[in-house]
Structures are given as C-alpha cells and as structure tokens.
C-alpha cells in the first residue's frame, strides 16, 4: 500500500533518532587513527621549549643513528624544497614566511623544529629526545599592546608585529555623541584566550606516492578544501594530485581547520621515506600547547553615547586582536566579527578601529564562535555596564535596545541582513524558564544576608553560511567570494538511495538530517536513505568551501542535498512514466510491499527503486533516446546568493542566516572562597526551523558547556617568558559533566527566509554563557563598584578584585558623563 | 618562568681570596646542590652535570657555563644554558665583592629563566625548590670561605 505524501508527515522537524548513533555508540566508528597501512612509519615532532629564540644549530646525528629511525626532517631542509604557506592578508602580513618547521627562529613555545620518522610510535618519541637543538633566547612578547610597540619583532621580514588594521565606521558618530544625554567611557575590557578540547586530537596519515606523484591523506582536518589550497601551493603540486579523505571525527570546533602545516610535514616525510605511509597522532599536551587557540582580544577606549532612555546611539572603540605567532587563518578574524557588527542591538553609528598583531604564543585558529563571540561579549559588557551606570534594569535595558521583531529582515549599519529573530520573545521565554521574578526576590533577601548573588542575561548571535567575499575587506586581492556546497543523490544499482555530501561532521548529525531531507523529497523513510559523509576529494561532491565550520550545514549542506534529491526525483519521475506508461502527473512517490516505489494513481501499477535503477544501469538497451540523459546519479551545487562586499566601505551581506541565543545565569560568589557557583541556568535558542530538535538541543547543551567552561574554568595562561602554563588537562581544567548545571532549555522558531526549510545554521552558540556569566557576576558585584572587565573569572580573580576594591587600589574603569 | 634571588653575606677572607674561589669553577661548582661532575673546556668555559629532582620528575641536567665577567677582586659573573626534563634553563649568577675591615661582603644575585613543559607540570614547585637550592649554595659558599 502506497503512503502518499499528503498522508505522511514531513520528516524534517521530527525527532528522528540519529543514524550515526548505532555505529558510534557501539565503538564501530572509523576515526583517522583506526586506519593502518602496510609499512607505515610514525612521526614525532621536536618542539621548542622557548617562545622566542634563534636556532643556532640542530644536531640530528644521535637521532639518525638510533636503530629504527628512518630519517629526520629539519626546517632548512623543508624550506629548500617548498614555498612558504600562502598568507591571506596583504602586506605586512603577506611578507611573513611561514613554514611547517621553524627554519631559523622560534616564535612560540611548542613550535616544531624537526620531525623524526621511525618504525614505531615509541621509537619516534625516544628519538625526538635525541635531537639536540641549540638556541639563542630572544625577548618574548606575549602581550598584544607590547607587541604593537615593535620593540621585539617576531617576523623580521614583515618589520612589524602588526598583521592588519582597519577602521569600520558607519553612520554619523560625532553627531550622535554631540546629541547624547549620557556618555559612558570604558577604559579596557579583555576577552581571554582559550581553546577547544576535542576528544580526538589531530591525526594525519599521509602517503606521497612517487609512482603517480600523488599525495594521499587520511586525516581529521575539518576544512579540507581550504587545507588543500594551502598545501598545493606550499608543496608545489597540482591540487588534483592531493587526495584527502576524512571519516568520523571526534570533535573539532574549528580548531582542526589549521592542521595543514602538520599535513605538509607528514607528506614530505613520506616522500623522504620513499613513499612509505607516515602517521602522526598528536598528544594531548601537543594539542594544548601548539595546535591552535581561540583569539584573545582587548577592547580599549570604548565610548558609548546614549539618549535619555538609555538607548545606545553610538559607539567607538579600539579592538586589539592577538593572533599568536603566525596568522594562518588570519587575518580573516579581523572582518568576521563584523558579521555581527551591532550584535542584537539597534545602534546605527559606530567606529571600531581594529588591529591584529602577532605575539610569541600559539597561533590562533577558528574556535567555536570564532571572532564573533569576542565582539558579542564586548557588546554585552557594554550594554550591562551602561545599564548599571544608568540604574536601568538589565532586562529593560535590552528591551530598549534590541532590534525589534517587526524590523526583520534587518539591515545592519555595515550592510549585513539579519534574516529573522525575536529577541524580546526569547527574553520572555528565558525569564519564564528561570523564574525571573522569584529569583529577583531571592536575590534581594540574599543580599540582606550579605550574599553575593547576580542574575545575568547574555543575548548573542550565531551567524552561519559565510560570504567569503568578506576576505576581500581584509585583502582586496583575495580570490574568494560567495559560498557553495555540493551534494550527490543517486539510486544505486540495486535501487538504494545514496546521498553523498562534502561535509566533515564531528557530532552534528549530518547523516541523520540529510536523510530526513531526502526522505521528505522522495516520501520514504529516512532509514532507507544511506548518507555518505566525510570529505573525499575524489567523491566529487565538494566545492572550495566544503567542510564543517561556521554553522552552515543546515543551510548550505542541506540545500545542496535538497537540490540533488529534487534532481533525482525529477529523473525518477520521467523514468517511471516511461516504465509504467503513465503521465508524470499521475505518479506518486511512497513505499509499498517491496520498499520504496513509484505508483500510478490511476492504474495502481508500480515500480520499485530496484526496477528503476535496473533500467538505467543494467538494462539500458530498453531506454528510448529521449531518456538517455537520465543517470539517476545527480549532483547539485547550492550557491548562496551573495555579492562581493564593498571593500572600501566595508559594507555588504557577510552571512546568510542569524541564529540567536539568549541565556540567563544565576550565579553566587561563595563568601569564603570567592568561587562563582551557578545556581540556575536557562538557555533559549532560535535557529529557525529545527530540522531535528534533539540534535539542535544537543548542540545547545554542548555550546553551553563550552561557554561555561570558558567563563569559569578554561584559559590558556602564559607567563612573561612565553611558557604556556596550562598545557595539560590538569592545569587547563576543561569542563566536564560534573561541572555542568542543570540547563533549562527552551526554544522559539523564527524561520529564515533565506533557506528552503526555514532553518538557520547553528551549533557554535555565540558563547552566550560567557556573556550571561559575566553579566551575572557584574550584577552580583556592582553594588561594590566592581566592573567585570574580563571574560574569565574564577575565585582567584574575584578575590583580587574585591580585595583591591576594599583597599582602595582598584581602578575606576568606567566614567559616566551626564549632560543636562 | 623567572626566578630571581639576591642577597649578601660577609666572610672573613680578603676580596682577592674570595674572588679566586668564586672565579674558579673547580672550586666553586662542587658546592652546587646535587652536583654530579663537570668538564672544563678552558679557563672560562665549563659544562656542569647536576641531578634534577622535582617531585617525581627526575633527570640529569647539563649546563654549559661561561664565566663572562671577571674583574679581580671586585666581580665575577657566570652565564649558562642547559636542558632539563623537556625544557631549557638559562641562568646568570653574579658576585660583587666589597672589602670591609674584617673581610669581604659578597653581594650575590641570581636569575633562572625556565622554559618548557616543566613550568606547566611543576611550576608551583620550582620557585620554592630554587630558593632552597640557592640557600644551600650560599650556605656552602660561606662554609667554604670561612
């Protein structure tokens, strides 16, 4: 019996169990380290313990002499055989020479100096210890403001530590300040450096096949189409000679995007070893010390103009971004933050002077909420500080400043188009979830007892599906613009529906959501759809933007899947009309006694998918000429409707969808230890139409955990010599389930007009917990005149802030000018 | 991580005698805590071998030392560099001698710059250990010069 489309409820939007679960929870996932090749060698990196030093000599003789060691690679050797990696930024950034092994100078602790290739992992570890490196230490610079003085320059060829600078100015700032009722000055805010801690560290298996001059990679890089562009130019090989395959990935959060330097070393090591495969498995300490960290940012000399009602009318500020020792994915972060230029607020006049510099710290990489969370945290601090200074309740302050529901689609001062949203409604939902009024009463009575309880709101955005044309704002010569994703949908020889996408899921449930989309198009059950995820350059479903990053699969990836499925459906319809001798209008898709089929409504005749596929694949002589174009193997490339932004004005649509999150945290500062403890927590999400609600909810929990960890537990601490003091989990203390509060989850749906399903990209979460917890701590301490000026707060920092305030040593970071 | 320590003590010997002792690695070096040996390349260059033990992290450190400043009988200053437990250490140790009626005041200053994983793993232990070892060295020097 055929179930018709009208009888069957859509699969999109339903809590379909994750298809991946069966494999992953039974330990049957295939991760990069599960792949073993014959005669495989193992690579270990010799890393610098200095943050800044000249390399005087590298003596590899003892390591080379060790039995089981095949070879040792050094920086000068690699530099003689390759080109420096491409730099995305213009000069001075473009002058930086970045090789995967240090050539003559060390620029961050943990930078690889040499690579040892051995017959076993243990031999490689031992041999690393036998490489003698003589250094001449140089003065390290670990602070971005110090770096900009150029007293100790990291890259002599660039002659400065400044990587990029640009002024983003919109509206009439001076007039807005002249007309302001209040002007609030905030001396300095600081967003700390932290990272992601995926369970699986970076893993690379490479083989340089000399027979056909091809390089094969099996790895867990999460943006391989980006990586191969860098690798091809660096290694001097045509890009189609590089094959990259990814399989299951145990988390990335963006941090695995920048593993291409290690990929280069593994390939070169394989070539040196005569084409034997080379595997490198990063240790946890290596990952913490030298993979990539999130951007650290300092906000200086912020001035805010407000009207009498506390509505922000203008903002000026200087933002200094610390990108670590090498730019790599940077300076893209210098413009990516501007996707959310005004955050969720309505101010139209602003001038932000943005500068990025290198320091003697681990290079940064795109970390969950990349570049935008720093800016959104800054805006939330500005709103909260102004609210406290003007004695406006935090919720009321936001309602006065939020972009209003009726203003969507909303064009920001810099030309971005927020597709949809309803921030005021999210606030209502979150307040109801947390019990706002009850907590206000509890807070008042607790304060009478001397307890420090604060309630904080964090409203944030998760912009998804980038317009890569924004790269031209940082470098007008950059050859990137737009965005696209490819997908393939086919009927296999025995009629199996197989979908292939070019994404690299790391827990986002792409197999499930892609199956839901195809199931709706063909009116079949998602279990009858096989989805091949994982990037493979030879699967022909990727474009130059393929990968998993920047909250985009629900829009770009699934739009490509939807397009491919519709093409397949069209071909199947034509073929079934021929086979059943029926008109296309008479056909319906569904499932019958032999599985998925197409049926004639008028005659009841049907043909199942095997029958259809049989005609095309193994019985093709029966096909009439007019159907010879049918392949039942349909590729579709979805392209985002972007234009190249105005480079001079820094104006244009930079992102397609804007999911939003609103979190409320209730935090108490323990009186004895000053440790902040979360008493209650609510998280409300709006990612438009939810394709699979439990998957959305899971990502909200994950992003919330990540944000709470960053706010209270996790930070990359460097001492003045550039030593990273938190290169182990013992010191970094990543958040675990034991540290998580009970999160009260809620959602609203404002469908996006920019995607076929109404879905918006989501998953990065916009770092809402950082905003909400900083706001809660501010609320708890504002009566004592303390301003929360750092995104990281723990018992130690809060004790110091209170002690300084008590002793009168505390600075006055905020000034208010009230004009009559 | 930087550990900087300084102090002074007085001994009854003349500055020339104190200087000759402090500027002679063969006499001076064995007073270092956990000293295990040395090889001297020339009058001002020598390599020290000292045992390093920070809780469960144990190993042998080789320090290449240089007597970089020697002004008899006023000043002696050493600079050295070595590797230990996956990291590197740079040290400077200087002695300024001031004659008194009864002998010599030795004003000493030392700086250890520690680089590498050790600072993360044993950071909290390094400073007290450094202070303890410097005190042992100073006590040894005083005893040897008395």
pLDDT tens column, A294-338: 999 999 999 999 999 999 999 999 999 999 999 999 999 999 999
Q: What is the pLDDT of residues B5-43, one digit of tens each?
A: 899 999 999 999 999 999 998 988 888 888 899 999 998
Whether A156 is covered by a domain: the verdict is no
**Which residue in B88, B90, B121 is closest to A728 by CB distance?**
B121
Asked if A723 and B90 come within 8 Å (Cβ–Cβ), the reply is no
Q: What integer pLDDT is reported at residue B50 of this predicted model? A: 86
Res A209 pLDDT > 60: yes
Predicted ipTM of the assembly: 0.86
A contact test, residue of B90, B119, B126 with most A CBs within 10 A: B119
Asked if A49 and B88 come within 8 Å (Cβ–Cβ), the reply is yes
Residues of chain B with pLDDT under 70: 123
Give A-chain residues touching B115 at CB under 8 angstroms.
49-51, 109, 137, 721-723
Q: What integer pLDDT is reported at residue A2 of this predicted model? A: 41
Q: Does residue A733 belong to the interface with chain B, where contact is any CB pair within 8 Å?
A: no
Q: Does residue A393 belong to the interface with chain B, where contact is any CB pair within 8 Å?
A: no
Whether A145 is covered by a domain: the verdict is no
Q: Is A739 helix (H, G, I), strand (E, B) or coil?
A: helix
- Name the pLDDT band for A805 (thresholds 50, 70, 90): confident
Q: Does residue B2 belong to the interface with chain A, where contact is any CB pair within 8 Å?
A: yes
Q: Is residue A651 domain-shared with residue A633, that is, in the same domain? A: no
Q: What is the pLDDT of residues A666-685, one digit of tens each?
A: 999 998 999 999 999 999 99
Give B-chain residues touching A289 at CB under 8 angstroms.
117
Q: What integer pLDDT is reported at residue A6 of this predicted model? A: 42
Per the CB < 8 A criterion, the answer to whether A321 and A333 are in contact is yes
Q: Does residue B138 belong to the interface with chain A, where contact is any CB pair within 8 Å?
A: no
Whether A444 is covered by a domain: the verdict is yes
Whether A266 is covered by a domain: the verdict is yes
Min Cα separation B39/chain A (Å): 19
Min Cα separation A113/chain B (Å): 14
Q: Does residue B119 belong to the interface with chain A, where contact is any CB pair within 8 Å?
A: yes
Whether A159 is covered by a domain: the verdict is no
Q: What integer pLDDT is reported at residue B140 of this predicted model? A: 87
Asked if A137 and B113 come within 8 Å (Cβ–Cβ), the reply is yes
Q: What is the pLDDT of residues A769-794, one digit of tens each?
A: 999 999 999 999 988 889 999 999 99
Distance CA A786, CA A806 (A): 10
Q: What is the pLDDT of residues A386-410, one digit of tens each?
A: 999 999 999 999 999 999 999 999 9
Q: Does residue A50 belong to the interface with chain B, where contact is any CB pair within 8 Å?
A: yes
**Which residue in B115, B116, B120 is closest to A728 by CB distance?**
B120
Three-state SS for chain B is: CEEEEEEEEEECCCHHHHHHHHCCHHHHHHHCCCEEEEEECCCCEEEEEEEEEECCEEEEEEEEEEEEEEECCCEEEEEEEEEECCEEEEEEEEEEEEECCCCEEEEEEEEEEEEEHHHHHCHHHHHHHHHHHHHHHHHHHHHHHC
Distance CA A319, CA A496 (A): 54
Residue with structure tokens 């291409």? A260
Q: What integer pLDDT is reported at residue A712 of this predicted model? A: 98
- Name the pLDDT band for A4 (thresholds 50, 70, 90): very low
Q: What integer pLDDT is reported at residue A357 of this predicted model? A: 98
Whether A334 is covered by a domain: the verdict is yes
> Cα A303 to chain center, whole Å?
30
Question: What is the number of other CB atoms lying within 10 angstroms of the CB of residue A203?
Answer: 23
Q: How far is CA A116 from CA A104, A119, A273, B101, B136, in A?
A: 18, 10, 11, 61, 40
Give B-chain residues touching A727 at CB under 8 angstroms.
117, 120
Q: Is residue A406 domain-shared with residue A501, that is, in the same domain? A: no
Q: How far is CA A169 from CA A133, A315, A341, A352, A653, in A?
A: 49, 10, 11, 6, 16
**Which residue in A49, A722, A725 is closest to B87 by CB distance?**
A49
Q: Looking at chain A from residue 316 to 335, which residues have their Cβ under 8 Å from any Cβ of chain B? A: none
Query: What is the chain B residue with the closest CA to A286?
Result: B117
Report the CATH number at residue A523. Answer: 3.30.365.10
Q: Is residue A179 domain-shared with residue A235, that is, in the same domain? A: no
Q: Does residue A59 belong to the interface with chain B, where contact is any CB pair within 8 Å?
A: no
Report the CATH number at residue A77. Answer: 3.90.1170.50
Q: Is residue A719 domain-shared with residue A630, that is, in the same domain? A: no
Per the CB < 8 A criterion, the answer to whether A618 and A611 are in contact is no
Distance CA A688, CA A691 (A): 9
**Which residue in B83, B87, B119 is closest to A719 by CB distance?**
B119
Q: Does residue B86 belong to the interface with chain A, where contact is any CB pair within 8 Å?
A: yes
Q: At what angle do helices A693-712 and A768-781 cross, to 10 degrees?
A: 50
- What's the total number of domains in chain A? 3
Its CATH class, for the domain covering B2-145, is alpha beta
How do beta strands A743-747 and A676-686 pair?
Answer: parallel
**Which residue in A50, A721, A727 is closest to B117 by CB distance?**
A727
**What tokens appear for B137 in the block?**
């060295």
Give B-chain residues touching A725 at CB under 8 angstroms.
119-120, 123
Give B-chain residues touching A50 at CB under 8 angstroms.
88, 115-116
Q: Does residue B72 belong to the interface with chain A, where contact is any CB pair within 8 Å?
A: no
Query: What is the chain A residue with the closest CA to B86?
Result: A49
Instruction: Tally C-beta pairs within 8 A across A and B.
Output: 47
Query: What is the chain B residue with the closest CA to A48?
Result: B116
Domain boundaries, chain B: 2-145
Q: Is residue A331 domain-shared with residue A187, that is, in the same domain? A: yes
Query: What is the chain A residue with the closest CA to B85?
Result: A129
Whether A146 is covered by a domain: the verdict is no
Q: What integer pLDDT is reported at residue B54 of this predicted model? A: 73
Q: What is the pLDDT of residues A510-562, one digit of tens each?
A: 999 999 999 999 999 999 999 999 999 988 888 989 888 888 999 999 999 99
User: Which one, of A453, A491, B44, A699, lies nearest residue A500 by Cα?
Assistant: A491
From A281, A311, A336, the end of a domain falls on A281
- DSSP character for A407? G
Q: What integer pLDDT is reported at residue A1 of this predicted model? A: 39
Q: Does residue B126 belong to the interface with chain A, where contact is any CB pair within 8 Å?
A: no
Q: Does residue A726 belong to the interface with chain B, where contact is any CB pair within 8 Å?
A: yes
Q: Is A150 helix (H, G, I), strand (E, B) or coil?
A: coil
Give A-chain residues touching B60 at CB under 8 angstroms.
none
Whether A474 is covered by a domain: the verdict is no
Q: Does residue A213 belong to the interface with chain B, where contact is any CB pair within 8 Å?
A: no
Asked if B113 and A726 come within 8 Å (Cβ–Cβ), the reply is no
B contact test, residue of A49, A287, A289, A724 with most B CBs within 10 A: A49
Q: Is residue A630 domain-shared with residue A653, that is, in the same domain? A: no
Q: What integer pLDDT is reported at residue A5 of this predicted model? A: 42
Q: Is A41 helix (H, G, I), strand (E, B) or coil?
A: strand
Res A278 pLDDT > 80: yes
Which run of H or of E encompasses A501?
A: strand A497-501
- Name the pLDDT band for A9 (thresholds 50, 70, 90): low
What residues contact residue A667 under an 8 Å CB cut-off, 6+ apart? Answer: A453, A454, A455, A456, A676, A677, A678, A679, A773, A776, A777, A780
Asked if B115 and A109 come within 8 Å (Cβ–Cβ), the reply is yes
**Which residue in A720, A727, A728 is closest to B2 by CB distance?**
A720
Min Cα separation B13/chain A (Å): 37
Query: What is the chain B residue with the closest CA to A51?
Result: B115
| Stretch A355-377: mean pLDDT | 97
Q: Is residue A595 domain-shared with residue A465, that is, in the same domain? A: no
Q: Does residue B123 belong to the interface with chain A, where contact is any CB pair within 8 Å?
A: yes
Q: Is A443 helix (H, G, I), strand (E, B) or coil?
A: helix
Residue ranges of alpha helices (H) inside A85-199 are 121-128, 144-147, 173-178
Q: How far is CA A314 from CA A180, A216, A461, A564, A638, in A?
A: 9, 53, 20, 46, 38
Q: What integer pLDDT is reported at residue A811 of this predicted model? A: 72
Asked if A49 and B115 come within 8 Å (Cβ–Cβ), the reply is yes
Q: Is A432 helix (H, G, I), strand (E, B) or coil?
A: helix
Q: What is the pLDDT of residues A582-608, one digit of tens each?
A: 999 999 999 999 899 999 999 999 999
From A246, A281, A316, the end of a domain falls on A281
Dihedral sign of CA atoms A741, A747, A752, A756 in order: positive
Asked if A721 and B113 come within 8 Å (Cβ–Cβ), the reply is yes
Distance CA A666, CA A436 (A): 10
Range of the domain at A335: 166-195+292-469+645-818
Q: What integer pLDDT is reported at residue B61 of this predicted model? A: 83
Query: What is the chain B residue with the closest CA to A49?
Result: B116
From A602, A623, A639, the end of a domain falls on A639
Give B-chain residues touching A285 at CB under 8 angstroms.
117
Query: What is the pLDDT of chain A when averaged over all its residues?
Result: 95
């Amino acid at each position: 019996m055929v179930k018709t489309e009208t009888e069957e409820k859509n699969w999109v939007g339903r809590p379909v169990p994750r298809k991946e679960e069966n494999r992953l929870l039974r330990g049957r996932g295939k991760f990069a380290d599960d792949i073993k090749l014959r005669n495989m060698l193992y690579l270990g990196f010799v890393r610098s313990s200095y943050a800044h030093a000249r390399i005087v000599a590298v003596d590899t003789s003892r390591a080379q002499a060790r039995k089981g060691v095949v070879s040792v690679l050094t920086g000068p050797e690699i530099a003689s055989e390759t080109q420096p990696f491409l730099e995305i930024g213009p000069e001075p950034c473009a002058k930086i020479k970045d090789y995967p092994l240090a050539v003559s100078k060390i620029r961050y602790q943990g930078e690889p100096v040499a690579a040892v290739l051995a017959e076993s992992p243990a031999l490689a570890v031992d041999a690393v210890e036998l490489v003698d490196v003589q250094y001449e230490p140089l003065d390290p610079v670990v602070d971005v403001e110090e770096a900009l003085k150029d007293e100790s320059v990291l890259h002599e060829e660039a002659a400065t530590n400044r990587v990029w600078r640009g002024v983003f100015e919109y509206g009439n700032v001076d007039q807005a300040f002249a007309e302001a009722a209040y002007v609030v000055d905030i001396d300095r805010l600081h967003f700390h450096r932290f990272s992601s801690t995926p369970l699986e560290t970076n893993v690379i298996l490479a083989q340089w096949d000399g027979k056909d001059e091809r390089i094969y990679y099996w790895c867990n890089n999460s943006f391989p189409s980006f990586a191969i562009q860098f690798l091809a130019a660096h290694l001097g090989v045509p890009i189609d000679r590089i094959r990259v395959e990814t399989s299951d990935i145990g988390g990335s959060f963006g941090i695995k995007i920048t593993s291409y330097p290690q990929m280069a070393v593994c390939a070169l090591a394989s070539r040196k070893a005569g084409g034997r495969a080379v595997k490198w498995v990063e240790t946890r300490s290596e990952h913490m010390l030298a993979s990539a960290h999130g951007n650290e940012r300092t906000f200086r000399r912020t001035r805010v103009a407000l009207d009498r009602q506390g509505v922000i009318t203008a903002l000026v500020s200087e933002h200094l971004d610390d990108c670590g020792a090498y730019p790599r994915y940077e300076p893209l972060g210098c413009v990516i933050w501007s996707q959310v230029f005004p955050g969720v607020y309505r101010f139209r006049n602003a001038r932000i002077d943005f500068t990025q510099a290198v320091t003697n710290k681990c290079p940064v990489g795109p970390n969950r909420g990349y570049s935008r969370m720093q800016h959104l945290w800054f805006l939330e601090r500005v709103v909260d500080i102004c609210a406290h200074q003007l004695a406006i309740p935090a919720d009321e302050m936001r309602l006065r400043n939020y972009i209003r529901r009726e203003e969507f689609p909303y064009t920001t001062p810099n030309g971005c188009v927020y597709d949809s949203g309803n921030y005021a409604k999210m606030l209502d939902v979150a307040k109801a979830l947390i019990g706002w009024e009850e907590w206000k009463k509890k807070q008042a009575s607790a304060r009478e007892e001397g307890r420090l309880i604060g309630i904080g709101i964090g409203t944030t955005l998760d912009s998804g599906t980038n317009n890569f044309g924004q790269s031209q704002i940082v470098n007008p010569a950059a050859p990137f613009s737009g965005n696209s994703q490819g997908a393939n949908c086919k009927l296999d020889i025995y009629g199996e529906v197989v979908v292939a996408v070019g994404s690299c899921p790391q827990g986002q449930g792409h197999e499930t959501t892609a199956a839901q989309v195809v199931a709706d198009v063909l009116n079949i059950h998602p279990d009858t759809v096989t989805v091949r995820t994982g990037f493979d350059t030879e699967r022909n479903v990727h474009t130059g933007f393929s990968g998993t990053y920047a909250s985009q699969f629900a829009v770009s990836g699934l739009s490509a899947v939807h397009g491919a499925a519709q093409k397949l459906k069209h071909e199947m319809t034509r073929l079934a009309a021929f086979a059943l001798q029926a008109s296309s209008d008479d056909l319906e898709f569904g499932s019958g006694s032999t599985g998925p089929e197409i049926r004639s409504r008028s005659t009841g005749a049907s043909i199942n998918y095997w029958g259809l596929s049989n005609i095309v694949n193994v019985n093709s002589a029966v096909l009439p000429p007019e159907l010879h174009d049918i392949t039942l193997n349909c590729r579709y490339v979805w392209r985002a409707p972007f234009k190249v932004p105005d480079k001079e004005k820094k104006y244009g649509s930079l992102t397609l969808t804007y999911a939003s999150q609103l979190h409320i945290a209730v935090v108490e500062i323990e009186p004895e230890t000053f440790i902040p403890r979360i008493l209650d927590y609510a998280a409300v999400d709006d990612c438009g139409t939810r394709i699979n609600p439990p998957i959305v909810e899971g990502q909200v929990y994950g992003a919330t955990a990540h944000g709470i960890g960053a706010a209270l537990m996790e930070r990359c601490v460097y001492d003045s010599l550039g030593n990273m003091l938190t290169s182990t989990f013992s010191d970094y203390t990543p958040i675990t389930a034991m540290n998580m509060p009970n999160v009260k989850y809620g959602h609203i749906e404002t469908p996006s007009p920019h995607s076929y399903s109404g879905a918006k990209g989501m998953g990065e979460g916009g770092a809402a917990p950082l905003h909400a917890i900083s706001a809660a701590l501010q609320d708890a301490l504002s009566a004592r005149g303390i301003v929360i000026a750092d995104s990281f707060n723990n018992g130690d920092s809060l004790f110091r802030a209170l002690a300084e305030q008590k002793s009168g040593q505390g600075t006055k970071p905020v000034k208010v000018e009230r004009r009559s | 991580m930087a550990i900087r320590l300084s102090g002074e003590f007085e001994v009854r010997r003349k500055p020339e005698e104190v200087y000759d002792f402090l500027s002679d690695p063969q006499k001076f070096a064995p007073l270092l805590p956990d000293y295990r040996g040395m090889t001297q390349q020339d009058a001002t260059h020598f390599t020290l071998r000292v045992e390093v033990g920070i809780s469960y992290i144990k190993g042998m450190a080789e320090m290449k030392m240089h007597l970089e400043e020697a002004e008899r009988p006023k000043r002696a200053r050493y600079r050295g560099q070595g590797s230990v437990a996956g990291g590197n250490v740079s040290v400077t140790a200087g002695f300024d001698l001031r004659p008194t009626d009864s002998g010599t005041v030795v004003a000493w200053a030392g700086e250890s710059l520690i680089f590498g994983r050790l600072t993360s793993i044993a950071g909290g232990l390094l400073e007290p250990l450094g202070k303890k070892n410097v005190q042992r060295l100073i006590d040894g020097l005083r005893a040897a010069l008395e």
